Copies of this chain bind each other. A is one copy, B any other.
Amino acid sequence: MTVPNPPADSGPVAIICGGGSFPFTVADALMKSGRGAVLFALRGFADPDRVTGYPHHWAHVTQLGRFLRLARREGCRDVIFIGTLVRPSFRQLVNFDLATLRVLPGAIRHFYGGDNHLLTGMARMLEDHGFRLLGAHEVAPEILVPEGALGQVAPAPRDLDDIHYGLEVLRAIGPFDVGQGVVVANRHVIAVEAAEGTDQMLTRVGELRQSKRFRAPPGIGVLVKAPKSGQDWRFDLPSIGPRTIEGIIEAGLAGLAVKAGGSIIAEPQIVVEKADRAGVFVAGFPETPGGSA
């Protein structure tokens, strides 16, 4: 079934809403811009207290038919998917509706093929039903991290050197769909993020510091995050928020650098306040820092 693309930017945006605060940051931006949003809150993932502040429906991850029906009725054409979605256990997979059962064999294959495959399959399915899957940054570009220092603290020359080195590491592992983050201190790679995620990696760095396996004095070392090469920005842009800054502080790092225009930030004012108070930097770096290719 092929449906012609709907006109761009019509109707409120359907936000398929996982955990964390990002869905609400994006919804706020859409409300402010006048476009509007309807949350499709995923049971077990979305924050129930915060969902009630927005137009919303609840759905199980297994209720694709329900989503398609309600999104159409709400006049949504554009869909974004945002928020954490730790893969559901089989016990959470209840209340399958017919539309879900139809795509299930493919979905299961995607599910075990890694996130990108799962979500690429979801995107294709939504398009088959006349919707358009966009990235959160396309409907709310103000959530993208801008270039330069966000707060009052700027990276020192040594930090810039570590950022550059971290970027080279991320570029080298980019083709392998590994993580999006790396911690570097004095051009020494302290930690590489894979399935554990950024927060857990920062906890590890703090522990390595406590156990003296990572001995550079506090205030030395940076977290660098960048999108994986070939990553589909509609699903999974590197993201930072207040929790990331807490992790940076606990790990004793000098700050964090993310790709400007290629990373999203939740609750930026809280991020900047926390960072300024602790004296750590938060910076967006351009595509090629230092002007190198």
Q: What residues of chain A have their CB less than 8 Å away from a CB belonging to chain B?
A: 86-87, 89, 112-114, 165, 168-169, 172-173, 175-179, 183, 186, 188-197, 200, 204, 208, 211-216
Contact = CB atoms under 8 A, between A and B. Distances in A.
Which one of A86, A113, A192, A196 has the greatest number of beta carbons of chain B within 10 Å?
Answer: A192
5 closest Cβ contacts across the A-B interface?
A192-B192, A178-B189, A172-B172, A190-B195, A191-B194
B191 A86 contact: no
A115 to B, nearest CB: 9
A190 to B, nearest CB: 5
A113 B114 CA distance: 38
Contacts of A169: 173, 176, 178
Given A172-B172, A191-B196, 12 more contacts: A87-B215, A89-B212, A112-B215, A169-B178, A173-B192, A176-B189, A178-B189, A178-B192, A190-B195, A191-B195, A195-B213, A196-B208
Nearest to A215: B87
Q: Please indicate which of the listed interface residues A113, A114, A197, A215 has the most CB atoms of chain B within 10 Å of its own CB.
A: A215
A193 B89 CA distance: 27
A83 to B, nearest CB: 16
Contacts of A195: 188-191, 208, 213-214
A187 to B, nearest CB: 8
Contact of A196 (B114, B168, B178, B204): B204
Contacts of A176: 165, 168-169, 172, 189
Nearest to A171: B172
